[in-house]
Amino acid sequence: MENEKPKIVALAHKITDRIKTELQEAAAGGKKRKFARFTLAALSSIPWVGGFLSATAALDAEKEQGVVNEFHQLWYEEHKEKLFELGKTITDILNRLSNFDEEIKNRIESPSYLSLIRKGFRSWDQADTQEKRNLIKNLLTNAGGTKLCPDDLVRLFIEWIDHYHEAHFMVIKEIYINSGITRGGIWNSIHGDRPREDSAEADLYKRLIRDLSTGGVIRQHRSTNIHGQFIKESTKGRQRSSSSTLKSAFDDQEPYELTELGRQFVHYTMDELAPQIGS
């Protein structure tokens, strides 16, 4: 343990120095003040960052005394990877936003956008997967790079990322790629063989579809007129099913599509499917 003390102190300073250096490089060219507000908003939304900086200062004092608390070592081991990732995420967003015109740069330091940054990075910190963090990074970048997406919509998308899981996002991707696909088609594309209707897998799948439907992300296909109004389906001549069983969780008849909100969610968060805004 004694031999690890200098390494822990060096690691703490390496992490903080890396973040400072990357942010200074990203802020080069007269943009420092605006990027400083962005960075402050992002860091201030994450509670443990302040604890990290305080612990770094404590390590400085302890280094002079020749003592490093074992708790600090465990704390750094717990947070070092996430802190590196935080610095990279902030820098990636700033590097992208630095390429936009002056009007967009003014948006970057606006109170409304900085409010989105605080909300977004709180969710980023609480996200339990890398996929969710990437969705948030793409959303915040695109929200800063365009005025086409209202801030209230960005907040809704952040809440969707908080609420839904990777299984939900897989369904969204399949419907985006294959609009009009059925529930059976979605399952076949993601999983392959279908389980029994009374299985836990079928129950979970029905819940995923229900969550996304009631959340306004997907819907069964509906025809519209030239004014965008949904047309009622005629029941005339429709025969009642003579089947003695309920509709399958893996139904192959009714097509599904993304709502307009769902399409915009993909557009702003899933750059592997839809081109990033401003690219």
Structural domains in the chain, CATH included, are 2-133 (no CATH), 166-230+247-269 (1.10.10.10)
| Greater model confidence, 249 or 169 | 169
pLDDT, tens only, 134-186: 999 999 998 887 666 788 999 999 999 999 999 999 999 999 999 999 999 99
Q: DSSP 3-state assignment of 236?
A: coil
Contact 17, 25 (CB under 8 A): no
pTM equals 0.77
Examine the pLDDT at 121 and tell me if it is beyond 60.
Answer: yes
The predicted structure's pLDDT at residue 226 = 72
Contact 10, 77 (CB under 8 A): no
The predicted structure's pLDDT at residue 274 = 58
Pick the closest to residue 136 from 107, 159, 113 (CA basis): 159
Pick the closest to residue 200 from 188, 208, 190, 192 (CA basis): 208
Name, of 10-14, 24-28, 59-63, 139-143, the range with top average pLDDT: 139-143
The predicted structure's pLDDT at residue 27 = 46
Predicted confidence band at 37 (pLDDT cuts at 50, 70, 90)? Answer: confident
For 237, residues 6+ apart whose C-beta sits below 8 A from its C-beta are none
**What span, in angstroms and rounded, lies between the C-alpha atoms of 59 and 72?**
8
